[in-house]
Chain A
Amino acid sequence: MAIKRLFIANRGEIALRIVRAAQTLDIETVVAVSDADRDSAAARQADRAVVLGPAQAAKSYLDPRLVVHAAKASGCDGLHPGYGFLSERAILPTLCAANGIAFVGPEPDVIDGLGDKIQARAMARAAGVPLVPGCDEVKTAADARREGDRIGYPVLLKAAAGGGGRGMVIANNGDEAEAGFHRASAEAVAAFGDGTLFMERFVPEARHVEVQLMGDGKGGVVHFGERDCSVQRRYQKLIEEAPCAAMPDHLRQQLHQSACALAASVNYRNAGTCEFLFDVKRQEFYFIEVNARIQVEHPVSEMIAGFDLVQEQLRIAGGAGLSVTQDQVKLSGHAIECRINAEDTARDFMPSPGRITRWSPPAGEGIRLDSHMSEGAMIPPYYDSMIGKLIVHAETREAAIDRLDAALADFTVEGIATTIGLHREIINHADFRANRIHTRWLEQVLLAERKGAAA
């Protein structure tokens, strides 16, 4: 049954995005807010806002019982979790099901299975998705050399028993693998009482590539192309593009097929993303994980596909099948998204909450802004610092970069510090223009150059 009244269990730009998608489909909206978000853009745009609890997320947005109670008490028959917060907690769809509310996302057991690293790898292996070549049990130095030779250098050796950086060694050849084994194994014995190591191929310059999927829950899956999210700082994405221009077509097809096969094998329902590490030198990709929700960077896929993923989410959760076949998904042009954060890049990306005294965003052909901000809006200090996403679309990557640069130059925000200036530096850097970047490029190259210039 199509959803009639939707509960939005999130905040910020995505809450507003979901409210608007629902309104386009003539679905009534109730948005959950904390005490700090009573006057949010989503709250004003929705038919109704209900105050869950105090500003602390643990007592408002992160309490699944409170959220589902509010959804039921406000007469909602559907619930969209957005991203972050409770979006990948199986208890949310479980509670929704027990209360007759359609959850906009996968089944709880699928969320749990994909959320567990070991289970997810097993599912990927079973579906024929490539994993990083490795070996779970390296017991002697001779083992280390043999496995290293087989996997291909450089390799990463780490304690099988523990996480973190302890007992972790990178080896570039057989001799280093043997020497590394002795060192890492001794550290592992000292730390965990077990010297067994785990080895996998180390990719020094990898790109982060991911496939946007939509499943009907019965094995039907379509993809909306891939995204390249290699501009990262501390594993946080800053810029995302679609498509991944660095990937050749034959590999791209294999990537899409792998992602669809995995999603189909678990009867994946609703929107999801299959993430891969792309080894550009070797021209191979390896499975990382599946994110069982809509992602922050979904707009770049929407721009190249001309397709509204959030509306499709709501239709599928309401019981409809996929509204497009794979053949009907036409991808064109190039899209880039910048995450605009309220952060001071000169002060180690310190969050910069406060009141926006001036907000003058760019507009024009091929420019999209997903934001909940406006002049006079307050950025509370309790949540993440993203204040919007600027997305551009153009015929080619080069044209998209030019358009983005002009749009960023035209974007005036006062009252708080933002990452707008940094984004211009990134996209105008020779490495970015030439597409020679990888997941550690921002930190190792651009931010290092910045520090050098400041010193």
Chain B
Amino acid sequence: MTHKPPVDPSVDHVRVLIEEFTRSGIATLHLRAGSFELLLSNDPAAPTLAGAPAAPAPVAVPVPVAAAAVAPAPVAAPAASPAPAAVSSSVPDGAVVITAPNLGTFYRAPKPGAAAYVEIGGKVGPDDEICLIEVMKLFTAVKAGQAGTIVAVLAEDGAMVEAGQPLFALVAD
């Protein structure tokens, strides 16, 4: 698997690359260095790297920028303003981002007043449910997808999240 989160170059390198890429307006950037391979594209239909996980599975940090190119902007804000990278700066090095499979309301707990499924620092297994996405009273659980430690919560409890929006950051075991 060539798309594995790189050990070297570091996640910081990748973040800088993404920022430069976003600013440059280049359509597609395909970088290969040794066993490290990175594809950045503004094109949602761009071919993904062979073996890259299909959304909505948790995606590694060096995702195609397309998967997070248009972040929600407040109504009436100029839609053309450069969207902040969805890979938030609060994602620690080496972490994987777990994104919303569809639009809905994000709930961290199984019911109001109950304890959250998981807190920062919590250990999860691949099949552990970590939050709910509600669409018109229909609640769908989101699973961690892989074993690891939750290192950041990236969406606000009770807020609307869009498809592809980052929810958690996880450092794999």
Total CB contacts across the A-B interface at under 8 A? 102
Contacting B at CB under 8 A, from A55-79, are 55, 59-60, 63, 65-66, 68-70, 73-75
| Interface residue from A30, A44, A47, A380 paired with B44 (Cβ < 8 Å) | A380
Q: What total of chain A residues lie within 8 Å of the partner, measured CB to CB? A: 41
Mostly, the A contact residues are: mixed
The answer to whether the Cβ of A100 comes within 8 Å of any Cβ in the partner chain is no
Contacting B at CB under 8 A, from A118-150, are none
Contacting A at CB under 8 A, from B73-90, are 73-77, 79-80
Give min CB distance, B62 to chain A, whole Å: 18
Per-residue CB contact flags for chain A residues 4-43 toward chain B (1 = under 8 Å, else 0) read: 0100000000000000000000001010011111110001
Across-interface contacts of A48 in B (CB, < 8 A):
72-77, 79
The answer to whether the Cβ of A52 comes within 8 Å of any Cβ in the partner chain is yes
Q: Are B79 and A65 in contact (CB under 8 A)?
A: no
Give min CB distance, A385 to chain B, whole Å: 14
The answer to whether the Cβ of B136 comes within 8 Å of any Cβ in the partner chain is yes
The answer to whether the Cβ of B1 comes within 8 Å of any Cβ in the partner chain is no
Per-residue CB contact flags for chain B residues 9-31 toward chain A (1 = under 8 Å, else 0) read: 00000000000000000010000
Q: Are A51 and B75 in contact (CB under 8 A)?
A: no
The answer to whether the Cβ of B33 comes within 8 Å of any Cβ in the partner chain is no
Complex Cα gap A281–B150 (Å): 75
Q: Are B75 and A30 in contact (CB under 8 A)?
A: yes
Q: Are A51 and B163 in contact (CB under 8 A)?
A: yes
Q: What total of chain B residues lie within 8 Å of the partner, measured CB to CB? A: 33
Across-interface contacts of B104 in A (CB, < 8 A):
66, 69
Q: Are B163 and A60 in contact (CB under 8 A)?
A: yes
Contacting B at CB under 8 A, from A379-404, are 380-381
The answer to whether the Cβ of B149 comes within 8 Å of any Cβ in the partner chain is no
The answer to whether the Cβ of B92 comes within 8 Å of any Cβ in the partner chain is no
Complex Cα gap A378–B75 (Å): 26
Q: Are B43 and A35 in contact (CB under 8 A)?
A: no
Across-interface contacts of B70 in A (CB, < 8 A):
33, 38-39, 43, 49, 51
Across-interface contacts of B135 in A (CB, < 8 A):
63, 65-66, 69
The answer to whether the Cβ of B115 comes within 8 Å of any Cβ in the partner chain is no
The answer to whether the Cβ of B138 comes within 8 Å of any Cβ in the partner chain is yes
The answer to whether the Cβ of A54 comes within 8 Å of any Cβ in the partner chain is yes
Complex Cα gap A55–B27 (Å): 20
Q: Are B163 and A54 in contact (CB under 8 A)?
A: yes
If A50-B162, A51-B103, A355-B43 are given as contacts, then 10 extra A-B residue pairs at C-beta distance below 8 Å, sorted by A number, are: A28-B76, A48-B75, A52-B102, A52-B162, A60-B163, A65-B136, A66-B102, A70-B160, A353-B45, A380-B45
> Residues on A close to B: CB < 8 A?
5, 28, 30, 33-39, 43-55, 59-60, 63, 65-66, 68-70, 73-75, 95, 353, 355, 376, 378, 380-381
A-B contact pairs, 28 of them (CB 8 A): A34-B163, A35-B67, A36-B45, A38-B44, A38-B66, A38-B69, A39-B70, A47-B75, A47-B76, A48-B72, A48-B74, A49-B70, A50-B103, A50-B162, A51-B164, A52-B163, A53-B101, A53-B102, A53-B163, A54-B56, A66-B136, A69-B104, A73-B160, A353-B45, A355-B43, A376-B27, A378-B44, A380-B45
